[in-house]
């Protein structure tokens, strides 16, 4: 039996189950409420996922877990900025294979909305890190379907933000097409994440045609 407090609101509760010793914090997924009230009791079962994390250091903040990794272009930019890509997650096997040829990071082929993928990430990197994600652009792009939150691919955004909380991220870097910066669905999810976790955000649209011989603008959001 353990006495714990939620992050970030500090609500105290009891937890019935096994925790790794010496950890600064834990993520409890798929646990059950055994007793409600002002001092609730949670318990785990065979479907629960309990992830332990060490105290975060400055070095951990420079480790990168790259979601929606594609061929790893964002990761290459991270390397140029003195960050170190450690884990990459990509659900398309061919792109995952291409990523492996361009980076020393460990590659996981999986869906970022799946708890099993979260477990695999934690198994390979059990400390805090910077989370990056090139979220799906089709729901917001002029050449895509433009259905915003009605497009199933838009789930890459809330899935990214959920992983950032579950894996105790120190920073989150989102990248997408320029229309995403004005999309109500995108703005709501980012605002809710910051409101509930205490993160701050900074946004910028970069016009790549100012430095490349091609026309392309991308939205970046750093939390």
CATH number at residue 135: 3.40.50.150
Count CA atoms within 13 Å of residue 144 on its CB side. Answer: 19
115 shares its domain with 25: no
Q: What is the pLDDT of residue 49?
A: 96
125 shares its domain with 198: yes
67 shares its domain with 159: yes
Residue 185's SS3 state is: helix
Q: Are 22 and 36 in contact, with CB atoms under 8 Å apart?
A: no
Q: What is the pLDDT of residue 33?
A: 96
Residue 218's SS3 state is: strand
Question: In which residue ranges of the chain is pLDDT below 70?
Answer: none
Whether the bond into 116 is cis, omega within 30 of 0: no
90 shares its domain with 165: yes
Give strand ranges (E) for 20-134: 25-29, 32-35, 41-43, 49-53, 63-67, 84-89, 106-108, 130-134
Residue that terminates a domain, selected from 53, 78, 95? 53
Summarize pLDDT for 14-34 with one digit per residue, the tens: 999 999 999 999 999 999 999
CB count within 10 Å of CB 193 equals: 21
Q: What is the pLDDT of residue 189?
A: 98
Q: In the block, which residue shows the tokens 């980012």?
A: 190
Q: In the block, which residue shows the tokens 């750093």?
A: 222
CA 46, chain centre distance (Å): 25
DSSP type of residue 158 = H
121 shares its domain with 27: no
Q: In the block, which residue shows the tokens 């272009």?
A: 73
CB count within 10 Å of CB 84 equals: 15
Q: Are 100 and 122 in contact, with CB atoms under 8 Å apart?
A: no
CA–CA dist 86, 60 (Å, integer): 10
184 shares its domain with 171: yes
Hey, what are 14's tokens? 């009891």
68 shares its domain with 150: yes
18 shares its domain with 90: no
Dihedral pair phi/psi, residue 141, rounded to 5°: -80, 155
Q: What is the pLDDT of residue 102?
A: 87
Hey, what are 174's tokens? 């989102």
24 shares its domain with 11: yes
121 shares its domain with 205: yes
Q: What is the pLDDT of residue 163?
A: 98
Q: 18 lies in which domain range?
A: 2-53
Residue that terminates a domain, selected from 38, 53, 68? 53
164 shares its domain with 69: yes
48 shares its domain with 64: no
Total structural domains within the chain: 2
Q: What is the pLDDT of residue 215?
A: 84
């Amino acid at each position: 039996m353990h006495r714990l407090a939620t992050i970030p609101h500090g609500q105290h509760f009891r937890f019935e189950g096994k925790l790794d010793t010496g950890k600064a914090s834990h993520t409890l997924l798929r646990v059950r409420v055994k007793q409600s009230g002002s001092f609730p009791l949670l318990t785990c079962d065979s479907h629960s996922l309990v992830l332990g994390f060490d105290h975060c250091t400055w070095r951990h903040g420079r480790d990168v877990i790259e979601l929606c990794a594609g061929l790893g272009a964002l990761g290459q930019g991270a390397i140029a900025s003195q960050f170190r890509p450690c884990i990459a997650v990509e659900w398309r096997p061919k792109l995952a294979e291409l990523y492996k040829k361009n980076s020393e990071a460990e590659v996981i082929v999986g869906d970022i909305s799946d708890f099993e993928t979260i477990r695999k990430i934690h198994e390979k990197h059990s400390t805090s890190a910077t989370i990056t994600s090139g979220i799906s652009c089709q729901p917001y792009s002029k050449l895509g379907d433009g259905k915003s939150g009605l497009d199933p691919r838009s789930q890459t955004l809330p899935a990214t933000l959920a992983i950032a909380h579950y894996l105790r991220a120190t920073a989150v870097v989102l990248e997408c097409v320029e229309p995403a910066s004005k999309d109500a669905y995108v703005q709501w999810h980012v605002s809710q994440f910051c409101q509930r976790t205490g993160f701050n955000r900074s946004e910028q649209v970069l016009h790549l045609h100012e430095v490349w011989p091609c026309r392309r603008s991308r939205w970046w959001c750093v939390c």
